[in-house]
Amino acid sequence: MSVQVIFSERGNILLGTVLEADMLDDRNIQAFSNGVMTCLRQCPQPNVLLNFESVKFMSSAVISELLRINEYCRQRAGELRLCGVRKQIFEVFQITQLDRLFSVVPEESADTALQRFERSIALRREAEAWNASENRNTDG
């Protein structure tokens, strides 16, 4: 089964929508990962929102890939978020306690998640600017 991840730029965020697959498993996990990573490698600070609206079934192999993608983003001062996650898949995140690591709200629409993500990036940048200014004052 094939899978495609279509990316579009929404302000500071790369929105990736998973298409052509209602299940992500061992057969298409590599295609999923390649699709995401090809786009991320072009981005110096990847803030990524993946939309799983079309996905009904997801195995732990996908979670492994999401953790690798998350680590890649984190190392570049970016962030990975998920949206459109169905309740049953959200439960998988809860069972594996990864709801603590990822910002996931069950069945959140891409538009709402984008707004929340943009606000979070704005706050993060404000904090970074504040810290930089504090450091300058301390150094001076």
Partner 1 sequence: MATVYRKCIPAVCEAACELRKEAISLLEQRGWIRDESDRFAYWLSLEEALSNAIKHGCGGDASRMVELEIEDTVERVRIIVRDNGPGFDPDRVTLPDCRRPDGRGICLIRHYMDRLAYDPELGGLVMERVRRNAGDLPLSGGNTP
Instruction: Give the residue among 1, 5, 31, 9 at the shortest CA–CA distance from 17.
Output: 5
Q: 23 vs 118, which CB is nearer to partner 1? A: 23
* Minimum CB distance to partner 1, residue 94 (Å): 9
Task: Kindly state the tokens that stand for 106.
Answer: 């069950």
Burial of 136 (0-12, 13-18, 19+ CB in 10 A): exposed
Q: Which is nearer to partner 1, 15 or 80 (CB)?
A: 80
Q: What's the closest the beta carbon of residue 33 comes to partner 1, in angstroms?
A: 11
Cβ 90 to partner 1 shortest distance, Å: 11
Query: Which is closer to partner 1, CB of 23 or CB of 105?
Result: 23
Site residues (vs partner 1, CB under 8 A): 1, 22-23, 25-27, 56-57, 59-61, 63-65, 67-68, 71, 88, 92, 95-98, 100-101
* CA-closest candidate to residue 81, choices 12, 4, 1: 12
Distance CA 55, CA 74 (A): 25
